[in-house]
């Protein structure tokens, strides 16, 4: 199956990078390589530093142009980052409501 896939790392691995977007025709083989620290430097570094990595999204029938599109705004396509951003927004709202009540 051709697909584009997205990995989210538990913390920043290289510089600011905490995602990997790729394209493959064999996701099971690629996943096995990546989770063993192979296939790209970011996986090797994460593997050696024991940083957790999760396959968080698969785009079936994706192609190279979709891969490039996802790479340009990866956080908006990552369900983990979208969830964290929503929680941080709700926390900020809750804090601002508390501040209003204290007035
Ligand atoms: Zn993410």
**CA–centroid distance, residue 78 to ligand 1 (Å):** 5
Evaluate whether 10 touches 51 at the Cβ level (below 8 Å). Answer: yes
pLDDT in tens, 51-95: 999 999 999 999 999 999 999 999 999 999 999 999 999 999 999
Task: Give residues whose Cβ lies within 5 Å of ion ligand 1.
Answer: 8, 78, 80-81
Which one is predicted more confidently, 19 or 97?
Answer: 19
Total domains present in the chain: 1
Boundaries of domain holding 27: 3-102
At residue 58, the pLDDT reads 98
**CA–centroid distance, residue 26 to ligand 1 (Å):** 22
**CA–centroid distance, residue 83 to ligand 1 (Å):** 9
């Amino acid at each position: 199956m051709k697909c584009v896939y997205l990995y989210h790392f538990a913390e920043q691995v290289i510089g600011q990078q905490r995602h990997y977007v790729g394209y493959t025709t064999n996701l099971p083989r690629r996943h096995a390589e990546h989770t063993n620290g192979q296939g790209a430097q970011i996986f090797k570094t994460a593997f050696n530093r024991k940083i957790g990595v999760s396959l968080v999204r698969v785009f079936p029938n994706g192609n190279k142009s979709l891969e490039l599109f996802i790479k340009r705004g990866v956080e908006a396509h990552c369900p983990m980052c979208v969830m964290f951003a929503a929680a941080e927004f709700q926390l900020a709202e809750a804090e601002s409501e508390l501040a209003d009540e204290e007035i």
